[in-house]
Chain A
Amino acid sequence: DAKTTQPNSMESNEEEPVHLPCNHSTISGTDYIHWYRQLPSQGPEYVIHGLTSNVNNRMASLAIAEDRKSSTLILHRATLRDAAVYYCILRANNNAGNMLTFGGGTRLMVKP
């Protein structure tokens, strides 16, 4: 999978929006952009994914740049439960994309 770059850590205040950036300048035309998060002592949790258009679901929104070389995960109102490591992943639409590979991710800290 193509490489993604994320900040090591970010801080947010509770009940405020959070914008988590991800750069993926080598993305190919058929790569999907996925976001997962992992809370302490839990398995990874799927958050959202998209291909070209912005996406919204009950957990978050995903804003994808027009050239697809970057994306932003938006948590509209951070809660303490959102403190986790967030992983931005590119997944190819072929056999290589069947397995997930996590990079370093962004550790989000939420202050009350």
Chain B
Amino acid sequence: GAGVSQSPSNKVTEKGKDVELRCDPISGHTALYWYRQSLGQGLEFLIYFQGNSAPDKSGLPSDRFSAERTGGSVSTLTIQRTQQEDSAVYLCASSQMLGGGQPQHFGDGTRLSIL
């Protein structure tokens, strides 16, 4: 079946611009996660959604970052007034539900480059 889909695959933008990154999770998965991965670095958690519950935003690095999930499916991560340190691969994952026993399935990410 279809996996997690992210768009765009690559995004180059100028410092100070806003960007929107999109994630289509696996159908039926109630939990959706955003991470980012800088070059040669590990995975950094940003935010997760579970059903209609309030999202866990504890990983968002600043108030320039926000995310929403409409209709319990598609999610958009927005970065306002981008800075060079925002350059990274932004990864989306989904799982059937929350929990330590639930595998997370990832998209191939959006590679964001801030000039």
Chain B residues with CB under 8 Å of chain A are 4, 31, 33, 35, 42-43, 45, 48, 56, 59, 91, 93, 98-101, 103-109
User: B56 contacts A51, CB within 8 Å?
Assistant: no
Interface SS majority for chain A: loop
Q: What are 24 A-B pairs at a CB distance below 8 A?
A: A30-B100, A32-B100, A32-B101, A43-B91, A43-B107, A43-B109, A45-B106, A46-B103, A49-B101, A49-B103, A91-B100, A92-B100, A97-B99, A98-B33, A98-B48, A98-B56, A99-B45, A99-B48, A100-B33, A100-B35, A100-B104, A102-B42, A102-B43, A103-B42
What is the size, in residues, of chain A's interface with B at 8 Å between Cβ atoms? 25
Our pick among A93, A97, A99, A103 for the contact of B33 (Cβ within 8 Å) is A99
Contacts of B104 in A (CB 8 A): 46, 100
Complex-state Cα separation, A91 to B95, whole angstroms: 14
| Cβ-closest 6 pairs across A and B | A97-B100, A43-B106, A91-B100, A99-B45, A46-B103, A93-B100
